[in-house]
């Protein structure tokens, strides 16, 4: 949530900041702004809305050798130009951008800033006024003032600060929110995400929580909050520039849906050697030693945990419990004696999940993070990591990460089951089955026109809809409904098909779309078909998405059969396309739905 970029050195700062912000726009798009400086002066430009709106305001005279930029997902204060970052201190000497939430901002205002004039409602403005007060009123150096403020500020933050009197330095600090240094030749950068700097450099340096960094064009000085220097090695990020473009696709979401067969094949490559499953022994042992697996995640990643639960239990013979990260940290159930926490997170930065991981680490509970982003916070701080190998996922609506998460958990389940000589695991030819999954996805992708047409009849104007299913189809229904509501704004619920008659069926009336998923065994299929009859009798407009082996002639969308453990992967793909086409037909921005951001770094 919120993207930060900064640069200092021998580059055109305006260009670098704007290109970086365009790449970071997925993190928030309520407003944006840049501050650019050189020895002759500075410019502060902000705009409500998208980066394109900001770009339209930037004249050719806005140039400099250093600058900071921000794209905002509003927390404190509505999206407006006044609340857009960067913010400035009372005398405008200091300029600050911030990602995160300052929890004690009201207290700071009362304790230190009663005589200050604040323009907007953001917590960030209070932070820059606080630092500014220590410089402008108390006579501290900017470094001393920043350090003093960091001892007072509580909450999550990634800060980048500039001083108009020294436009050759950017001061940064972080706690719980992501921020990285990018190292260049004659310039250095800061950024929320390596992807936004990859055009400029592939050499990075991590910043850890509660570190303050002084970035100049040819030096990076990392300190703790007491001022002691910290040594840090840089690393090379293996990011492919072509992965982060849209190519010829109109939207990232469609590109990412289409990439799923390739991702399945990449996963086979990553987790096998001569057809043998290869998962780090330490991870296999961690699962073997656990008496219960606790999967903690949010949104789509949480749904992927459900989709993999039965497979994990069957193959590892270990009970699996699911927890919504935002609830878990503050309402943790009674744990088993030997728990293993498994964090599933595409971004590896989700603050809700991270707060659980921090507590797990305090309690000495071992943990595994399953993520798409090597080096992400959840990866760094967990005991173990498994990667999704899905390539950058940029559309806010998660698609290929969900299917990669289930497939990665399949490798984990299979490796542990095999190590335990579990018969079901030994019989489960995962490599072969995933290859079939890739084919099944390709078959669904070749039916895009049919799906688009079905959607036009069903969802183009409706206000609400239901997905129903039983067994693993219920879990897919949860994900399918999240996808549809997230981007098309159709109010949609995913229901266990048998549960409708216990209350929700009262919402069914003429024309309400009910999308039914049927991929499980014939008994469950027959029950779901019974539930379809019940809603159809009450006027529902039903669309069926059915495994070919269970399909009847008049079913709407047929999905090539895959192994039951992997059926959520095959079954979700038509629902991703349904969400995509419904959103297009309703004239909305598929990749950037309102009020959302890709990486949710606030609790
Ligand atoms: O990066 P994470 O997987 O931890 O993100 C969790 C959720 O915020 C995310 O899956 C969200 O639900 C998606 N935008 C849904 O498409």
**Residues 172, 100: contact at Cβ < 8 Å?**
no
Q: Which ligand 1 atom sits closest to the C-alpha of 350?
A: 4
Q: 145 — phi, psi (to 5°)?
A: -65, -40
From atom 4 of ligand 1, which residue's Cα is the shortest distance away?
Answer: 345
Q: Give the Cβ contact number of residue 491 at 10 Å.
A: 13
Ligand 1 centroid to 599 CA: how many Å?
7
Q: Which ligand 1 atom sits closest to the C-alpha of 297?
A: 4
Q: How many residues does the chain have?
A: 603
Q: 406 burial class (0-12, 13-18, 19+ CB within 10 angstroms)?
A: buried
Task: Give the SS3 label for residue 210.
Answer: coil
Residue 194 has which token pair? 């390596």
The model's pLDDT over 307-351, given as tens digits with 9 standing for 90+, comes to 999 999 999 999 999 999 999 988 888 999 999 999 999 999 999
84 CB contacts (<8 Å, ≥6 apart)?
31, 32, 33, 46, 47, 48, 70, 72
Stretch 389-395: mean pLDDT: 94
Task: Describe the crossing of helices 448-459 and 567-585 by its angle, rounded to 10 degrees.
Answer: 60
Domains, the chain: 3-236 (3.60.20.10), 241-443 (3.40.50.10490), 447-603 (3.40.50.10490)
Ligand 1 centroid to 483 CA: how many Å?
10
* Alpha-carbon Rg for the chain in angstroms: 25
Ligand 1 site residues (CB inside 6 A) read 298-301, 345-347, 350, 353, 396-398, 482, 486, 600
From atom 11 of ligand 1, which residue's Cα is the shortest distance away?
Answer: 299
Ligand 1 centroid to 299 CA: how many Å?
5
Closest CA to 307 of 370, 380, 263: 370
Residue 260 has which token pair? 């799923």
pLDDT at 595 over 90: no
The model's pLDDT over 412-441, given as tens digits with 9 standing for 90+, comes to 999 999 999 999 999 999 999 999 999 999
CA dist., res. 393 & res. 378, Å (int): 17
DSSP H or E segment with residue 202: none
Q: Known catalytic residues?
A: 2, 598
Residue to probe by mutation, ligand 1, list 177, 300, 409, 572, most atoms within 8 Å of CB: 300
Residue 106's pLDDT band, with cuts at 50, 70 and 90, is very high
Identify the pLDDT of residue 330.
Answer: 85
CA dist., res. 121 & res. 485, Å (int): 30
DSSP state of 291: S
pLDDT at 241 over 80: no
Residue 557 has which token pair? 């969308």
Task: Give the SS3 label for residue 76.
Answer: coil
Residue to probe by mutation, ligand 1, list 193, 301, 401, most atoms within 8 Å of CB: 301
502 CB contacts (<8 Å, ≥6 apart)?
none
Residue to probe by mutation, ligand 1, list 257, 307, 322, 346, most atoms within 8 Å of CB: 346
Q: Which ligand 1 atom sits closest to the C-alpha of 598?
A: 14
DSSP state of 420: T
Q: Which ligand 1 atom sits closest to the C-alpha of 300?
A: 10
**Residues 218, 244: contact at Cβ < 8 Å?**
no
Q: Give the Cβ contact number of residue 429 at 10 Å.
A: 13
> Could you give the C-alpha distances from 22 to 243, 340, 371, in angstroms and in order?
15, 39, 24
From atom 8 of ligand 1, which residue's Cα is the shortest distance away?
Answer: 299
Ligand 1 centroid to 398 CA: how many Å?
6
Ligand 1 centroid to 592 CA: how many Å?
13
CA dist., res. 62 & res. 32, Å (int): 16
Identify the pLDDT of residue 316.
Answer: 98
**Residues 490, 484: contact at Cβ < 8 Å?**
yes
457 compared with 120, residue with greater pLDDT? 120
Identify the pLDDT of residue 449.
Answer: 95
Q: Which ligand 1 atom sits closest to the C-alpha of 398?
A: 16
Q: Order across the sheet with 292-297: list the strands.
A: 320-324, 292-297, 339-345, 367-371, 384-387
The model's pLDDT over 523-576, given as tens digits with 9 standing for 90+, comes to 999 999 999 999 999 999 999 999 999 999 999 999 999 999 999 999 999 999
pLDDT at 239 over 80: no
Burial letters for 362-374: b for 16+ Cβ neighbours within 10 Å, e otherwise? Answer: eeebbbbbbbbbb
Ligand 1 centroid to 402 CA: how many Å?
9
Residue 544 has which token pair? 């069926």
Closest CA to 54 of 65, 39, 67, 66: 67
pLDDT at 456 over 80: yes
Stretch 33-52: mean pLDDT: 92
- What value does the mean pLDDT of the chain take? 94
Q: Give the Cβ contact number of residue 432 at 10 Å.
A: 12
Q: Give the Cβ contact number of residue 521 at 10 Å.
A: 12
From atom 7 of ligand 1, which residue's Cα is the shortest distance away?
Answer: 299
CA dist., res. 292 & res. 339, Å (int): 5
> H helices within 428-566, ranges in order?
430-445, 448-459, 472-488, 522-536
Identify the pLDDT of residue 246.
Answer: 85
CA dist., res. 560 & res. 422, Å (int): 28
């Amino acid at each position: 949530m919120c993207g930060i970029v900064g640069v200092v050195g021998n580059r055109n700062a305006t260009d670098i900041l704007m290109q970086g912000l365009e790449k970071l726009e997925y993190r928030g798009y309520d407003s944006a702004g840049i501050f650019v400086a050189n020895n002759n002066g500075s410019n502060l430009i902000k705009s409500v809305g998208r980066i394109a709106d900001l770009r339209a305001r930037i004249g050719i005279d806005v140039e400099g050798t250093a600058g900071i930029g921000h794209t905002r997902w509003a927390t404190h204060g509505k999206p407006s130009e006044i609340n857009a970052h960067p913010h400035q201190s009372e005398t405008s000497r200091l300029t600050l951008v911030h990602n995160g939430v300052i929890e004690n901002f009201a207290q700071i205002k009362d304790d230190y800033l009663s005589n200050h004039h604040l323009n907007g409602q953001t917590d960030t403005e209070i932070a820059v006024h606080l630092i500014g007060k220590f410089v402008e009123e108390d006579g501290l150096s900017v470094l001393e003032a920043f350090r003093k403020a960091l001892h007072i500020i509580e909450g999550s933050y990634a800060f980048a600060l500039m001083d108009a009197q020294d436009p050759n330095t950017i001061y940064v600090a972080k706690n719980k929110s992501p921020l990285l240094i990018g190292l260049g030749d004659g310039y250095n950068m800061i950024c929320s995400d390596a992807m936004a700097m990859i055009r400029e450099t592939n050499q990075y340096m991590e910043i850890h929580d509660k570190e303050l960094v002084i970035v100049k064009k040819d030096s990076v000085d990392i300190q703790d909050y007491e001022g002691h220097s910290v040594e840090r090695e840089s690393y090379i990020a293996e990011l492919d520039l072509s992965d982060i473009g849209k190519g010829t696709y109109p939207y990232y979401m469609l590109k990412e849906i289409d990439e799923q067969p390739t991702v399945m094949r990449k996963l086979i490559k990553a987790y096998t050697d001569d057809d043998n499953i290869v998962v780090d022994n330490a991870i296999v042992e961690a699962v073997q030693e656990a008496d219960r697996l606790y999967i903690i995640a949010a949104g789509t990643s949480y749904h992927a945990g459900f989709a993999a639960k039965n497979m994990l239990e069957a193959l590892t013979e270990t009970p699996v419990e699911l927890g919504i990260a935002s609830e878990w940290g503050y309402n943790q159930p009674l744990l088993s004696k030997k728990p293993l926490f498994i964090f599933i997170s595409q971004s590896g930065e989700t603050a809700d999940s991270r707060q659980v991981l921090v507590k797990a680490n305090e309690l000495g509970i071992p943990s595994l993070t399953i993520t798409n982003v090597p080096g992400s916070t959840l990866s760094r701080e967990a005991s173990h990591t498994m990667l999704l190998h899905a390539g950058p996922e940029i559309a806010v609506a998660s698609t290929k990460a969900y299917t990669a998460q289930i497939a990665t958990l399949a490798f984990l389940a299979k490796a542990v089951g095999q190590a335990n000589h579990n018969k079901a695991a030994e019989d489960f030819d995962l490599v072969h089955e995933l290859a079939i999954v890739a084919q099944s996805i390709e078959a669904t992708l070749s039916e895009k026109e049919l799906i688009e047409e079905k959607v036009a009849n069903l969802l183009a104007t409706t206000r609400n809809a239901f997905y129903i299913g039983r067994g693993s189809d219920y879990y897919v229904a949860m994900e399918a409904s999240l996808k549809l509501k997230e981007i098309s704004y159709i109010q949609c619920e995913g229901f266990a098909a048998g549960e409708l008659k216990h209350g929700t069926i009262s919402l069914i009336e003429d024309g309400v779309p009910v999308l039914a998923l049927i991929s499980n065994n014939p008994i469950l299929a027959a029950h779901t078909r019974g539930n379809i009859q019940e809603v159809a009798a009450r006027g529902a407009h039903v669309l069926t998405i059915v495994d070919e082996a269970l399909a009847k002639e008049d079913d709407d969308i047929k999905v090539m059969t895959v192994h039951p453990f992997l059926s959520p992967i095959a079954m979700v793909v038509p629902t991703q396309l349904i969400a995509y086409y419904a959103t297009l037909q309703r004239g909305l921005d598929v990749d950037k739905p309102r009020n959302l951001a890709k990486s949710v770094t606030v609790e």
